[in-house]
Amino acid sequence: MSNEIMSELRKDYIYNLMIKGEREDGRKFDEYREITIDTNVIEKAEGSARVKLGDTHLVVGVKIQTGTPFPDTPDQGVIITNLELIPLASPVFESGPPREDAIELARVVDRGIRESESIDLSKLCITPGEKVWMVFIDVHVLDDGGNIMDAASLGAIAALMTAKLPAQRFGVGEDTPVPMRDVPVAVTAVEIGGTIMLDPSLNEQSIAGTKLTVISNQDGGLSGMQKSGVLPLTTEQINYIVDISIEKAKELREKFLEI
Amino acid sequence: MEKKLVIPGDFLSDDVKLADEGTYIEDSKVFSSVFGIASLKNQIKVVPLSGKYIPRQGDLIIGIITEVSFSNWIVDIRSPYEGLLHISEFPRRIDNSEMSKYLKVGDSIMTLVKDVDSIMKVELTLNDQRLRQIKDGRVIEVTPSKVPRLIGRSGSMIAMLKNETNCNIFIGQNGRVWLTGKEKNLDLAARTIQKIEKESHIPGLTDRIVKFLKEEKGIPVKGPAKRKVEKEAVKKIEPEPVQEMTSEETATEETPREEAEEPGKVEENKSGGILDELLDK
Amino acid sequence: MVKPEKLIENGIRLDGRKPDEIRPIKIKVGVLNRADGSCYFEFGGNKVIAAVYGPREVHPRHMQKSNSAVVRYRYNMASFSVEDRKRPGPDRRSIEVSKVSREALEPVIFQEYFPRSAIDIFVEVLQADAGTRTAGINAASIALADAGIPMKSLVSACAVGKVDDTLVLDLNKDEDNYGQADMPIAMTPDGNITLLQMDGHLTREEFKEGLEMAKKGCLMIAEMQRAALLEKYSSLIEGEVNE
């Protein structure tokens, strides 16, 4: 199946609204859609979260089990992030192995968590060189309403924050929370005709020439970025997006990810 | 009760002669084949609450060009089946190499289903001066099965809507609705149509919509003088979408009081005739 | 996990149910925006979500049937749905489950109404707790109706099994793991069986009795499926009246 074709009329409509300073759903340019996050929705998983970001709906499950460390990091646990754009979630997603979009999304979510050092990997070591905790973060997209990136990132961190190391089940002591020390938050902006807007809806996303995701930490530092799309951005635009993203991440963190 | 919510497999009647759309017959009994609203008055039929548009010859619809091939425009008509608009069905003679100059991917057209064969090959035409590319206004989408309710009995709902919102409205049988008018009026019309779609199965629809429109416009009592001025302004808008009529409507709600003095009425009767003209050819 | 000593004691199962009782069911219709029809179905600890797209164009084209729609069913388990993380993607089990589930629904769908098209059914198991295929079929049948697909009726599914030499309806995880037999069925409200699988050991008499038990289970589920569909629209009606 091909990408969805959007009528020129609809594009014009959104474009004209933008010129007037408006968005299709009445939001301000820097405003997110309504967000709800429910945690512990999958009892079988060690941690889980369901995120609704506007019409985008996904479930993140964290499975944790013991395994062998990588030879070059014998005293560190392992994080593996996977995301699938299953055909249930959109008429344009297909069955089969993940394609570049899904892999890009998974890798950016992974990067945010890994590079922010939000999980203390050394505390995931059970026996150096032999046994460590393997943390699998699986993002299951159920409904694509645009900006899966930010929803997945919020879900992954919310699921991790409620996850437990199942030590009892694996006979290595008492269950403990996953050792978290930072809360990275991804904020995605799109550029349409020179205007920057946050949290693109599906329509905005498909018109936009390019997207920029900025992942920032509690101290306002950056731990991951990804530009996605063929159109270039100016330095001014990028600087603006970075500034606004850090502010917005702070707001989202305080509102939805308070421990 | 003459109308009720039914699910597939619900028994409807013993009188197989009355069985109509949305039903099937087994062992001399009539059952519902869809999840929808059953009406048992004259014919026994069930109008589904959702579902895809299935094209029929003579339907006036709105399509979006998705591909330009050697001699056909391939048109998304919100159906499992794509529409084919052959180069010869364009109103004027054009060369294959120029097709994208006239209609390109993403363009919207008001078109007519010229023919549907047994394997659902759908042929479209623009070969009538009232069919055209849609270049302005807004196109919104509703569930195709709700199109008759949106039109209303003898066009009453749509006439009221046009009058109250000062918009021109064309409803394609495939559930795409073309609105033209002032931006503010378009917003109101779009919101109202969404409300009609959402509540079409609840009795007393027309009254609720009349009330909704009044509240939205913040007009407790109508000011006739003001309305007249606005109406004249709207008439200048080109092109004027035509309004299709349907004879399938079986809505039971009361007709609104305004209907008698409805100026959109004349236009509708005229455009209802377009369909007949086209089919007579 | 260790096998419990007894799975049924004084006619009561470990989870407190009587032999002919089904687990609690929670149903919500129309939960997804993009899909043409959808349903969330909880059946005991099972959490499944079904989406229907279609009828729509068939890709690849060679799968088209000139005189009817093709029905496709994809049963998929989320990696986190089970105790030990499952590798993403289809395996032999999920392919078999998809096939028999599709065949459980095909008899009720008026496929001939939509030549050259596809009706796609996607079932995602978010949490598995014995009986995912029956939960999936129950959800999918509602999602089909929600998508406006013409059907003869809904289809309901339920398993029967044998534990400690007793026939029990709707096996839970322990009963599934350590029981003597498991037999999922699906049927239409008028009693036509559209899915039948069995593994384990049953006598001929047990089979016949078990089948009747499962049929009763399906009828109970059918009532809940109906109620859930009607609820999607009736709640709106009440809300409006109160306004």
Interval B100-113: pLDDT, tens: 999 999 999 999 99
Q: Does A142 touch chain C (CB under 8 A)?
A: yes
Residue A3: predicted pLDDT: 55
A86 vs C122: CB contact, 8 Å cut-off? yes
Q: Does A10 touch chain B (CB under 8 A)?
A: yes
Name the pairing type of β-strands B83-86 and B122-125.
parallel
Instruction: Check pLDDT > 60 for residue B267.
Output: no
Q: Does A7 touch chain B (CB under 8 A)?
A: yes
**Alpha carbon distance C163, B265 (integer Å):** 72
Are the C-beta atoms of residues A162 and A51 closer than 8 Å to each other? no
Architecture of the domain defined by C8-242: 2-Layer Sandwich (3.30)
Instruction: Check pLDDT > 90 for residue B1.
Output: no
* A25 inside domain: no
Q: Tell me the shortest Cα–Cα distance from C191 to chain A, in angstroms.
A: 30
Residue B202: predicted pLDDT: 83
| pLDDT tens readout for residues A37-71 | 999 999 999 999 999 999 999 999 999 999 999 99
Residue C179: predicted pLDDT: 94
Residue B217: predicted pLDDT: 83
C114 vs B34: CB contact, 8 Å cut-off? no
* A15 inside domain: no
User: Binning pLDDT at 50, 70 and 90, where does residue B245 land?
Assistant: very low
Tell me the CATH number at A159: 3.30.230.70
Q: Does A13 touch chain B (CB under 8 A)?
A: yes
B107 contact residues in A (CB cutoff 8 A): 7-8
Q: Tell me the shortest Cα–Cα distance from A238 to chain C, in angstroms.
A: 32
| pLDDT tens readout for residues B135-169 | 999 999 999 999 998 999 889 999 999 999 999 99
3-class DSSP string for chain C: CCCCCCCEECCEECCCCCCCCCCCEEEEECCCCCCCEEEEEEECCEEEEEEEEEEEECCCHHHCECCECEEEEEEEECHHHCCCCCCCCCCHHHHHHHHHHHHHHHHHECHHHCCCEEEEEEEEEEECCCCHHHHHHHHHHHHHHHCCCCECCCCEEEEEEEECCEEEECCCHHHHHHCCEEEEEEECCCCCEEEECCEECCCHHHHHHHHHHHHHHHHHHHHHHHHHHHHHHHHHHHHHHHC
B33, B118, B208 member nearest C151 (Cβ): B33
A2 contact residues in B (CB cutoff 8 A): 66
Q: B180 to chain A: nearest residue by CA?
A: A9
* A12 inside domain: no
Residue A34: predicted pLDDT: 97
Chain C contact probe: residue of B1, B7, B26, B75 with most C CBs at under 10 A: B7
* A83 inside domain: yes
**Alpha carbon distance B121, B99 (integer Å):** 21
Sheet containing strand B36-39, edge to edge, reads B3-6, B36-39, B45-48
B80 vs C116: CB contact, 8 Å cut-off? yes
Instruction: Check pLDDT > 50 for residue B251.
Output: no
Structural domains counted in chain A = 1
C47, C56, C80 member nearest A138 (Cβ): C80
> Which residues of B make CB contacts under 8 Å with A?
64-66, 76, 105-108, 134-139
B64 vs A13: CB contact, 8 Å cut-off? no
C78 vs A57: CB contact, 8 Å cut-off? no
**Alpha carbon distance C79, A88 (integer Å):** 16
Domains of chain B, residue spans: 3-48, 60-134, 138-280
Q: What is the pLDDT along chain C (243 residues), one digit of tens a residue?
A: 678 889 999 999 999 999 999 999 999 999 999 999 999 999 999 999 999 999 999 988 899 999 999 999 999 999 999 999 999 999 999 999 999 999 999 999 999 999 999 999 999 999 999 999 999 999 999 999 999 999 999 999 999 999 999 999 999 999 999 999 999 999 999 999 999 999 999 999 999 999 999 999 999 999 999 999 999 987 555 434 333
C122 vs A97: CB contact, 8 Å cut-off? no
B76 vs A10: CB contact, 8 Å cut-off? no
A5 contact residues in B (CB cutoff 8 A): 64-66, 76, 105-106
C150 vs B34: CB contact, 8 Å cut-off? yes
Mean pLDDT of chain A: 94
B76 contact residues in A (CB cutoff 8 A): 5
Q: C78 to chain A: nearest residue by CA?
A: A140
Q: Which residues of C20-51 are buried (b: 16+ CB within 10 A; e: fewer)?
A: ebbbebebbbbbbbbbbbbbbbbbbbbbbbbb
Residue A90 or B226, more confident: A90
3-class DSSP string for chain B: CCEEEECCCCEEECCHHHECCCEEEECCEEEECCCEEEECCCCEEEEECCCCCCCCCCCEEEEEEEEECCCEEEEECCCCCCEEEEHHHCCCCCCHHHHHHHCCCCCEEEEEEEEECCCCCEEEECCCCCCEEECCCEEEECCHHHHHHHHCHHHHHHHHHHHHHCCEEEECCCCEEEEECCHHHHHHHHHHHHHHHHHCCCCCHHHHHHHHHHHHHCCCCCCHHHHHHHHHHHHCCCCCCCCCCCCCCCCCCCCCHHHHHCCHHHHHHHHHHHHHHHHHC
Instruction: Check pLDDT > 90 for residue B268.
Output: no
Measured between alpha carbons, how far apart are the two ends of chain B, in Å?
A: 43
User: Which two tokens mark C227?
Assistant: 């109620």
CATH number for region B138-280: 3.30.1370.10
Neighbors of chain A with 3 or more C-beta pairs under 8 Å: B, C
Averaged pLDDT, B229-254: 41
* Residue keyed to tokens 């219709």: C29
B35 vs C56: CB contact, 8 Å cut-off? no
User: Binning pLDDT at 50, 70 and 90, where does residue B216 land?
Assistant: confident
Mean pLDDT of chain B: 81
CA distances from B163 to B79, B189, B192, B206, B227 (A): 31, 10, 13, 14, 9
Residue B224: predicted pLDDT: 44
Q: How many CB pairs under 8 A join B and C?
A: 95
Q: Tell me the shortest Cα–Cα distance from B192 to chain A, in angstroms.
A: 16
Averaged pLDDT, B229-257: 40
Instruction: Check pLDDT > 90 for residue A96.
Output: no
B64 vs A7: CB contact, 8 Å cut-off? yes
Residue B146 or B222, more confident: B146
Are the C-beta atoms of residues B259 and B160 closer than 8 Å to each other? yes
| pLDDT tens readout for residues A121-161 | 999 999 999 999 999 999 999 999 999 999 999 999 999 99
Question: Selecting from 3.20.20.210, 2.60.120.620, 2.40.50.100, 3.90.180.10, what CATH number does the domain B3-48 have?
Answer: 2.40.50.100
Q: Does A9 touch chain B (CB under 8 A)?
A: yes
Q: B186 to chain A: nearest residue by CA?
A: A13
User: Binning pLDDT at 50, 70 and 90, where does residue B257 land?
Assistant: very low
Are the C-beta atoms of residues A97 and C89 closer than 8 Å to each other? yes
User: Binning pLDDT at 50, 70 and 90, where does residue A258 land?
Assistant: confident
Chain A contact probe: residue of B75, B79, B110, B138 with most A CBs at under 10 A: B138
Q: Does C120 touch chain A (CB under 8 A)?
A: yes
Q: Does A20 touch chain C (CB under 8 A)?
A: no
Q: Does C78 touch chain A (CB under 8 A)?
A: yes
Listed in sequence order, the residues at least 6 apart from B227 whose beta carbon sits closer than 8 Å to its beta carbon are: B166
Q: Does C33 touch chain A (CB under 8 A)?
A: yes
Q: Tell me the shortest Cα–Cα distance from B4 to chain A, in angstroms.
A: 31
Are the C-beta atoms of residues A124 and A76 closer than 8 Å to each other? yes
Q: Do domains B60-134 and B138-280 have the same CATH topology?
A: no
Q: Tell me the shortest Cα–Cα distance from A220 to chain C, in angstroms.
A: 32
C37 contact residues in B (CB cutoff 8 A): 50
Q: Does A63 touch chain C (CB under 8 A)?
A: yes
String of DSSP letters for chain A: --PPPPPHHHHHHHHHHHHTT--TTS--TTPPPPEEEEE---TTSSEEEEEEETTEEEEEEEEEEEEPPPTT-TTS-EEEEEEE--TTS-TT--SSS--HHHHHHHHHHHHHHHHTT-B-GGGGEEETTTEEEEEEEEEEEEE--S-HHHHHHHHHHHHHHT-EE-TTTTTSS--EE--B----EEEEEEEETTEEEES--HHHHHH-SEEEEEEE-TTS-EEEEEEESSS---HHHHHHHHHHHHHHHHHHHHHH---
Residue C236: predicted pLDDT: 55
Residue B219: predicted pLDDT: 67
Quote the ipTM score. 0.92
Domains of chain C, residue spans: 8-242
C108 vs B80: CB contact, 8 Å cut-off? no
Q: How far is CA B68 from the centre of its chain?
A: 26
Q: C57 to chain B: nearest residue by CA?
A: B80
The domain made up of B60-134 is a member of CATH 2.40.50.140: yes
C88 contact residues in A (CB cutoff 8 A): 82, 84, 138
Chain B contact probe: residue of C32, C53, C114 with most B CBs at under 10 A: C114
Q: How many CB pairs under 8 A join A and B?
A: 26
